Amino acid sequence: MDVGGLARATDARRLIVTADDFGLAPEVNEAVERAHREGILTAASLMVGERAVTEAAAIARRNPGLAVGLHLTLTDGTPVLPPRRLTALVRPDGRFRDDMAWLGLTLAASRAARRQLRDEIAAQFAAFHATGLRCDHLNAHRHFHLHPMVAAVAFAAARDAGLRTVRIPWEPPRLIHAVDAAARTPARLLQPFTAAMRLRAAHHGLRAPDQVVGLAWSGRFTAERLMRLLPHLPAGVTEIYFHPATRGGFAGGAPGYDHAGELAALLDTRVRREAAALASGGYTEMLAPG
């Protein structure tokens, strides 16, 4: 859907609707294009080391209204640099480690690991630049930029690359429980980290949405949840993120995620009608226009 086709509301609520894992697989790429052209999707976050990144970049070029940013991938994914240069960060098969807690400790304890981190982050920014796309925002796969050392390097790299917007995964429990009283969100556990991230982002001149929704229902964001959520959105900028794909079971897909169900939610006619009352767009358009 062309972002310019959305109605611009007079209230203070603004919405970013993002698909993560753009470039992971053809099934994800097709879903992103459909959800943007036919649904409410306004942004996508690109994994520059994955197998379908070239196709994803071509989709982005033919959909200029889709705001594309860097989905920094440092865990559970494919590096841009050769694995031999990232021995502290990768498994024997050359993919990034997925033991995030131990990887975080490795970064804290090892100067070599921190050097490899800086090199890989720089390589991912360079790979995004090589696509020729304008980088709208920065976020991270599995929110690994919650780690203060990752955030320090990534936010400095974002500033140096001319970015102005980032994701800080603060999901207000009160908002989530207004939709589903039984829902579980890790927000309170993450609050010290997200508060520190917000200060660090401001230090680097980076803006972030006021709240993000997607942690509690990651991989299970149905149209019904969206319909209950949208009327409860507070003033300010809210990002809602998804993991859509045309089907499940593809290489790299998250176990237990209803990828096709999330695509259906983004395409739902009732959702489109409800979202049309809100100003919406990419990170830069909603957070740092002009």
pLDDT of residue 11: 55
pLDDT of residue 4: 34
What region, left, alpha or beta, does residue 258 occupy, with left being phi > 0 and alpha being psi -120 to 50 degrees?
beta
Alpha carbons within 13 angstroms on the beta-carbon side of residue 178 total 15
pLDDT of residue 9: 39
d(CA 242, CA 219): 7
pLDDT of residue 168: 97
pLDDT of residue 188: 87
Q: Which parts of the chain sit beneath pLDDT 70?
A: 1-11
pLDDT of residue 289: 84
Rounded to two decimals, the pTM is 0.94
pLDDT of residue 7: 33
Helix (H) or strand (E) holding 187: helix 187-203
**Residue recorded with tokens 């498994």:** 91
Superfamily of domain 3-287: Glycoside hydrolase/deacetylase (3.20.20.370)
Going through the chain in order, the beta strands assigned E by DSSP cover 13-22, 43-46, 67-72, 138-140, 211-213, 236-242, 279-280
